[in-house]
Every structure is written in structure tokens, then in C-alpha cells.
Amino acid sequence: MQLWAGVAAIVLCVCAGLPSGAQPGGKVVEEAKVSSSILKRNVRYSVYLPADYDHSQRWYPVVYLLHGYTEDNTAWLQFGEVNRYADKAIADGTIPPMIIVMPDADSSWYINSYDGKERYEDFFIQEFIPAIEKTYRIRREKIFRGVAGLSMGGYGTLIYALKYPDLFVAAAPLSSGVFSDEEMATMPDDQWDWVMAPLYGRGLKGKNRLSKAWYDNSILKIIDEKSGDDLNKVRYWIDCGDDDFLFNGNALLHIALRKKMVKHEYRVREGDHNWLYWRTGITDALAFIGESFR
């Protein structure tokens, strides 16, 4: 009797610490590392594991969630509160239980630089995904792998989905960094030198910026050169605020996909390029990807 009384007391204490009707939350590993021979350094990442991960034997779908420019692997946790939104969405059945992996990409834009000094794209595809899928109980088929991100991470989302359609079932770019040729050619020099020069070359002006390196990584150019059938291998959820400085590129992305008869969802909500917008959009983005898993 004393034993059972003790167990009951423990259960009551645990329950008393939870709000009424609350569900147990998922586990967050804020910092782990993958050793990269391509980049010749360790790359940090954060990961969200659903609440039942530690006491189940099941294997889970995965979403690679990409951060924005000047941020890191903790941004979606610290500012986006993605773990809290995922907990709620899983508990109410809006999304299936999933693993969310958030890598640190520094300011690489998730691609290989023109001079080969930074090969983040090669790292992500050749090393990072395999390492993650060996570390966690992740289903390794395309149908259980999605990618999403904001701003620079939205651009990375599109790059990976467009270049590697056999790897991802769905992509959800939020406020993605999509630029037209004109925007690149007329970008102020200081902005080019700070943001784009490490990717495409320093000292370039005007149409000289529209190089092979640029076209190899231009979202609109890649779409233009692909067939509708190839583009339709991935499901797309595109979301950008009506006051976002990247609205023009996202609108052109929508138009380009429409011209190729690519099925996609395009959302324009009231909002700007900020965390309030992304926090209020992440559940819908994950739900869209989750539908693909199902």
C-alpha cells in the first residue's frame, strides 16, 4: 500500500505541474554537430523530436527547417518558437508527429560559392542529410522528407526542391529571397558587396553580375529551364507578406510556376519581413508538408 501511495503521489505532482488538458511537449536538442569533410569544419544544428520519440519504436518523417540571413540554427527555436507550435499542432492532429532539423548555414545562402571556397549545398545533400538520417529514426524515402525556411532559408528551400526533386516531397518557402535579373543588376553596390559578392564575385556591376554562377542558382531561371512535369515532382507552399520587401520576387515565382502549370499554393497575408509573420505562418506550412507525408 505504501508503494502505491508513493506512486500516486508522484503522478499527482507531475499532473499538478501541467496546465489542465496539456500534452507533453517534444524534446529539443539545441546544439549538436555534424563533422564535414567537404567544409572542413563541424556544422551545428538543432533538432526537435516529437513527444513520443523516446518511448516509441516508430520511425518519423522529417522537415529540414532553414534559417534566414545572419541567423543560425537556434533562430527557429528562439524567435520562431517552432517547438511550441509543433507541440500544439501534433497534439490537435493538424500535423503528424515529425522530426524538425534546423542546420546552421551561416550566410552561405545554402549554395556553393562561385569560387568553390564554400560548398554548403554539396555538404547539405551529400553529408548532412545522410548523417541526420543515420542519427535519428527518420524514414529515408522521399515521401517522408520535406524542406521549409524563411528569407535566405526560403531561397535554400527552393534551391534544394528545384535541384533535387527526387529527395523532397514538399517545400514551403516563407518570404523567400527570390530576385529577378533586373533586381540583381541594379542592386546597390554596398548591398551587393556585403550580401552577394561572396556567392557570385566581387566588383561586379550591372549586367556583369548575371554570370553563369548566378544563372545556375537563379530560382526564376531554373524554373524557366525545367519542364512542368519535372517541376510537379515537388509540392510547393509559397507564403509572403503584402508589405515584405521580397514581395516582387515571390509574385514572379508564383507567375513562373503558373506559366509552367505547376500545382502550388500561393499565400499573401498581411505582414512584413519579420518573426511575427513567420510564427503565424509556420503551422500552415508544416501542415501542408504533413499532408504530403500522409
Higher per-residue confidence, 273 vs 22: 273
Q: Which domain holds residue 284?
A: 23-179+218-293
Residue 4 belongs to a domain: no
> Which set of grid coordinates corresponds to residue 20?
489542465
Q: Residue 294's pLDDT band (boundaries 50, 70, 90)?
A: confident
Q: Cβ–Cβ contacts within 10 Å for residue 291, how many?
A: 14
- Full 3-state SS string of 13-50: HHHHCCCCCCCCCCEEEEEEEEEECCCCEEEEEEEEEC
CA atoms within 13 A on the CB side of 229: 0
Grid cell in block for residue 247: 514581395
Calculate the average pLDDT of the chain.
93
Backbone angles phi, psi at 101, to 5 degrees: -115, 130
Q: Is residue 168 part of a domain?
A: yes
Q: What is the CATH number of the domain that holds 234?
A: 3.40.50.1820
Residue 34 has pLDDT above 60, yes or no: yes
pLDDT score at 24: 74
Q: Three-class SS of residue 246? A: coil
In-domain check, residue 136: yes
Residue 283, domain member (yes or no): yes
Q: pLDDT band for 23, please (50, 70, 90 cuts).
A: low
Overall number of domains in the chain: 1
Band (15; pLDDT cuts 50, 70, 90): very low
For 202-259, the pLDDT digits (tens) are 999 999 999 999 999 999 999 999 999 999 999 999 999 999 999 999 999 999 999 9
* Residue 101 belongs to a domain: yes
**209 falls within a domain:** no
Q: Is the pLDDT of residue 21 over 80?
A: no
pTM score, two decimals? Answer: 0.92
Does position 17 have pLDDT exceeding 50, yes or no? no
77 within 8 A of 71, measured Cβ to Cβ: no
Per-position b or e across 140-167, b if 16+ CB within 10 A of its CB = eebebbbbbbbbbbbbbbbbbbbebbeb
**Inside any domain, residue 207:** no
Look at residue 208 and tell me if it is in a domain: no
pLDDT in tens, 116-156: 999 999 999 999 999 999 999 999 999 999 999 999 999 99
